[in-house]
């Protein structure tokens, strides 16, 4: 038996296989491009479900349920944790890199970056420039790896870590 769960990020879909195992893992099929090249459209990934004890780490790829600012459907979204509670994230340093606490991130997983020279716009998550954003305690700042095609915390803001339902393991 399979159930479909829409992933609202540039018309993406995540398909959940209802065949989780005793270790708390499930398989999902990525239907969109917001996490390419790390997770390609159609790629099957395995995620570990998390409970209230989830301690987010920068670099985790997570499934979470967004609120109204993410389209309001409650469907799961797949993104990478860029900063955790207590950190300040911004873009960009003089070299165009995302910074956390003033230090540039090395992000080899970003193949297609968003344009830098466009001014930020609440209607379009396209520009790379944002911040600084102080991530509240108990929250995470998430972004897609395909920054040119991702609706993420640049536009919607940080999300509560309690919204994270799973972490990608493969």
Query: Does the annotation count 73 as an active-site position?
Result: no
Q: Which residue has the tokens 């967004």?
A: 66
Kind and range of the H or E run holding 153: helix 153-156
C-alpha neighbours within 13 Å on the C-beta side of residue 20: 13
Active-site position among 40, 41, 73, 79: 79
Alpha carbon distance 12, 97 (integer Å): 26
CA 163 to chain centre: 12
Helices (H), the chain: 153-156
The per-residue b/e assignment along 97-109, b for 16 or more CB within 10 angstroms, e otherwise, is bbbbeeeebebee
Alpha carbon distance 54, 26 (integer Å): 17
Active-site position among 34, 150, 153, 163: 34
Neighbours of 83 (CB within 10 A): 27
Query: Does the annotation count 34 as an active-site position?
Result: yes
Residues with catalytic function? 34, 79
């Amino acid at each position: 038996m399979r159930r479909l769960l829409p992933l609202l990020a540039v018309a993406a879909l995540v398909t959940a296989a209802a065949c989780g195992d005793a270790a708390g893992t499930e398989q999902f099929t990525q239907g969109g491009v917001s996490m390419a090249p790390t997770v390609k459209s159609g790629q099957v990934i395995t995620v570990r479900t998390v409970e209230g004890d989830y301690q987010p780490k920068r670099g985790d790829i997570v499934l979470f349920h967004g609120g109204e600012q993410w389209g309001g459907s409650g469907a799961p979204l797949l993104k990478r944790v860029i900063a955790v509670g207590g950190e300040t994230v911004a873009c960009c340093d003089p070299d165009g890199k995302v910074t956390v606490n003033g230090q540039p991130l090395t992000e080899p997983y970003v193949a297609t970056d968003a344009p830098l020279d466009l001014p930020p716009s609440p209607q379009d998550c396209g520009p790379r420039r944002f911040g600084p954003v102080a991530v509240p305690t108990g929250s995470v700042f998430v972004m897609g790896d395909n920054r040119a095609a991702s609706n993420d915390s640049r536009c919607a803001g940080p999300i509560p870590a309690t919204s994270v339902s799973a972490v990608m393991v493969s």
